[in-house]
A and B are shown apart, each in its own frame.
Chain A
């Protein structure tokens, strides 16, 4: 699959790297050029500096031919905006959005956007491990 990841923090870089190893075609977009060093040496995808909420930047990243888009920056609002652009403007069917705030994540889920809250995921995981 051709996958675009917005945000090259620990999570974005880790995600892009894992998907790259699995053989997917990755493009990662990051505002801050210095963060691209978080990608491992063997990363075979494309890394670009730019604003993932900007339509033109998304086009340059090849969004018109992408199969999936993941908004994984550290800012909820930027993620929500970029993910909605991918879904509604570019009609990408597989869009996942990282939303820290659990209530906001629930809200975007209600708008039919796959919103993953790292907090909710962690809580779920802890509860599962503790079997409570």
Chain B
């Protein structure tokens, strides 16, 4: 596949290295001359000096035949414009934007850029998942309104010794799977929760805080 990346920072460069190892054709566009010069020798023709938000540069990059376009620059406005050009002018089917400021997520969505990597959000989730700050971990987004989350039952959790039915969850929270001793089971209403259980639930994003409270220690 032919993949064009805007931004040769740490993310862009790492993505490039990974993709060429897997045999893809990759071109990285960088507008900062010092970054460009530091990578020029190593990357050769896989690095293009220029502004990835300009039509002529994108044309030179061969965007007409690109299969995937990824904008991972440090500024959200650059990633937005580059992705809009790639998607609507060059009709690249798969366009991915790095989002630096989480509050811009809905703006990107409203402006037609739906495939977003929310960097700050990912770091936050990773910190939460590796500590006991929060019993819930988001696994995957489902559509625009729902998420699949994993809730861990710690020994201090209020839900230990209760059945799922007794939790009186609202109908918008669907318990989908109970994982006990490493084995997933469909959740029977009368299953009594134990320390160490993990529960996968489908929830509306607005209900995540409420679910968190239910599982809080």
Contacts and interface: CB of A to CB of B under 8 A. Distances in A.
B78 A84 contact: no
Contact of B111 (A75, A88, A107): A88
A84 B104 CA distance: 12
A78 B107 CA distance: 13
B76 interface: yes
B80 A107 contact: no
Contact of A80 (B75, B81, B89, B110): B81
Interface residues of B, number: 18
Contact of A81 (B76, B88, B89): B76
A84 B111 contact: yes
Contact of A85 (B53, B78, B81, B107): B107
A101 interface: yes
Contacts of A88: 110-111
Contacts of B56: 103
Contacts of A80: 77, 80-81, 84
Given A80-B80, A81-B81, A104 B53 contact: yes
Interface of B: 53-56, 75-78, 80-81, 84-85, 88-89, 103, 107, 110-111
